[in-house]
Structure 1
């Protein structure tokens, strides 16, 4: 039986490479991994996978590549985000902010058009929980896909919202699309979550707790997100009950930011010597002051009100729809996932120290 042809955009990135690995393991797919960059030394690569370099902002090159690869399903993970305090900016005229909108929105539009033109059967889009929870001042407790979106207060959240709407609006006839709204993703080779939490050790920030420290938030292990994408592919090729739908994808284990941080620090044999709680309102005013100084001096801030909101608000959702429609069940539970991830980084840090 011929293998089903799958093309993964962002296929050498953190999530994209994990999806490629899951597809290879399934042994029923012929895989093309599209990215701006080739696989890095720390990224697994496979002889059976066709690795191609292309910019999703180049419509003609993208169209030619899709017609040559003839994918039946496209998994679209390629996207960019801003890190640190930059993440909370809403100004879209700046160079970096503009790049987020171009890649995440225009790039998605190009992928959708190239997919339809090459005769693909559908697209699985990697969306984000930020389409909902980046309404930063709000609390989201056990939210589901029925909660309205479109009020994201960050450029990234807005860009993912627009892109998701483009994807779902293109679902019609035999061309099927769906969107997977992933929570913050962590795992080996994680570029953000584990490194950010670990960096608090060197910065002497581990004793400090913003707000009450009791607000629950969602995270998800990268292999679980990859599993969800494979399930979505099977669904679109099969019963199609996921077509036109969005799904939250998390580990299904809401945890406080403090407990998550403590679990990570413990893996690195670090235990805060004391704890100091900073009231949310006080932290908010400090963030406002830092933003004002940043604006007055032209220097980029490392702290802002957005960080305070992200740290102190409830941010967890229901995965019941993904369970029911996709058959999704988080395979790697949170304690095991954190241990695997931290062990990877311990090896990386040890190797770097020897150089």
Structure 2
């Protein structure tokens, strides 16, 4: 696969001279979209709307303007939208609860305020100024946060979650608003990326890397064979640009939702092993912790934190998460959006590890370590 910095995307002119607004454009996904837009359409006018100004290392290009807005403030959103009058809106703004709160409802009010009400504010304002296209960054969690099921190669026909975690509930509610709003004046669609990784990742790769120092790498919950999807952030950026192109031309994506992933399902264990190997670490042995035992331990941790008022990483929910099967079909995105992941999994992991090592000041070994053929398994 091509390295994302050298891959050539043909400039077909569809969005040249168009005004494009990207909410949360200084964030992980938003900044990747801004980069891709600037590369493919050097003549489009990009505005980043975000609560947080760009960090020094982001250094937005001169032709990318920044407007500081809180999406939960409807009046401010209206003012910004009226000032910019975008042709296309790419709405990535949202809040993901930290891992310790993923399986709790402590942050429900703020999650709904940002993910649902914030989306409604941006969508309504976009319609008022006549935006032609609105692409919403949803999540696979609109389906997979329903912890009662396993999700093997699911399609978009699988129903949105009804019994779930607050994040999936909020994204499902916002996605419903967006898709129902699609019309001849403002065409909308929704993208559902799986778990994201890539340069700039502040959640997934750092937490996996931290297991080395905590000496947690030998422990495997369950059999370790459950497959899940991960998506490189540059591939998600590509999907957003393709969706915007579609909504401003054929509109065959209007009113539709699309799963977006690397289309290379992998076990969580193998994903972790690949990352650790880039940092020169291979677990010397493995201990498989039965799911039932881990589930009981999670319950004990929950009771302990309830009594002390602290937070826990291990919970019944995190155990279910670790053992879940969660991967989707990419056929719909391929057929309608013409989406193909350009950064393959192996390349994406390498690039992510190189960027994270540079970020934390660690030098990677020249060649990643590989497990011994007969690794001891307990």
**Does TM, scored on the shorter chain, surpass 0.5?**
yes
**Counterpart-to-counterpart distance in 2, 1:151 and 1:285:** 25
- Tell me which of 10, 17, 38 is aligned to 2:24: 10
In the alignment, is residue 213 of structure 1 matched against residue 229 of structure 2? no
TM-score by length of 1: 0.96
Equivalent positions of 1:45-56 (< 5 A) are 45-56=60-71
In the alignment, is residue 149 of structure 1 matched against residue 160 of structure 2? yes
Point out the more displaced range, 6-15 or 22-31: 22-31
Equivalent positions of 1:308-323 (< 5 A) are 308-323=319-334
- State the partner residue of 1:37: 52
Task: Tell me if structure 1 keeps the 8 A contact 2:145–2:161.
Answer: no
Task: Tell me if structure 2 keeps the 8 A contact 1:231–1:327.
Answer: yes
**Counterpart-to-counterpart distance in 1, 2:299 and 2:256:** 38
1:28 is displaced (CA, Å) by 4.1
- State the partner residue of 1:202: 213
**Counterpart-to-counterpart distance in 1, 2:346 and 2:59:** 24
**Counterpart-to-counterpart distance in 2, 1:162 and 1:44:** 34
Equivalent positions of 1:171-250 (< 5 A) are 171-250=182-261
**Counterpart-to-counterpart distance in 1, 2:348 and 2:94:** 24
Task: Tell me if structure 2 keeps the 8 A contact 1:182–1:248.
Answer: yes
In the alignment, is residue 327 of structure 1 matched against residue 343 of structure 2? no
What are the ranges of 5 or more consecutive residues in structure 2 without an aligned counterpart?
Answer: 1-12, 364-378
Task: Tell me if structure 2 keeps the 8 A contact 1:42–1:189.
Answer: no
- State the partner residue of 1:81: 96
TM-score by length of 2: 0.90
**Counterpart-to-counterpart distance in 2, 1:126 and 1:340:** 23
Equivalent positions of 1:89-108 (< 5 A) are 89=104, 91=105, 94=106, 96-108=107-119
1:150 is displaced (CA, Å) by 2.5
- State the partner residue of 1:129: 140
- Deviations 1:159-205, CA, capped at 9 Å, x for gaps: 00000000001012221000000101101110111111101111111
Task: Tell me if structure 2 keeps the 8 A contact 1:145–1:247.
Answer: yes
Task: Tell me if structure 2 keeps the 8 A contact 1:167–1:179.
Answer: yes
- Deviations 1:118-141, CA, capped at 9 Å, x for gaps: 111121000000011111231100
**Counterpart-to-counterpart distance in 2, 1:152 and 1:343:** 39
- Tell me which of 310, 317, 324 is aligned to 1:306: 317
- Deviations 1:86-112, CA, capped at 9 Å, x for gaps: 1111x3xx4x32111100000000001
Assess, with a 3 A threshold, how the Cα gap between structure 1 residues 323 and 44 changes in structure 2: closer, same or farther.
Answer: farther
Assess, with a 3 A threshold, how the Cα gap between structure 1 residues 44 and 138 changes in structure 2: closer, same or farther.
Answer: farther
**How many residues end up aligned between the 2 structures?**
348
**Counterpart-to-counterpart distance in 2, 1:107 and 1:221:** 26
Task: Tell me if structure 1 keeps the 8 A contact 2:134–2:189.
Answer: yes
- State the partner residue of 2:39: 25
1:349 is displaced (CA, Å) by 1.2
Question: Secondary structure of 1:275's partner?
Answer: strand
- Tell me which of 309, 332, 345 is aligned to 2:356: 345
1:60 is displaced (CA, Å) by 1.0
1:297 is displaced (CA, Å) by 2.3
Question: Secondary structure of 1:343's partner?
Answer: helix
Task: Tell me if structure 2 keeps the 8 A contact 1:20–1:31.
Answer: yes
Structure 1 runs, 4 residues or longer, greater than 2 Å off: 41-44
Give 1 or 2: higher helix fraction. Answer: 1
- State the partner residue of 1:68: 83
- State the partner residue of 1:140: 151
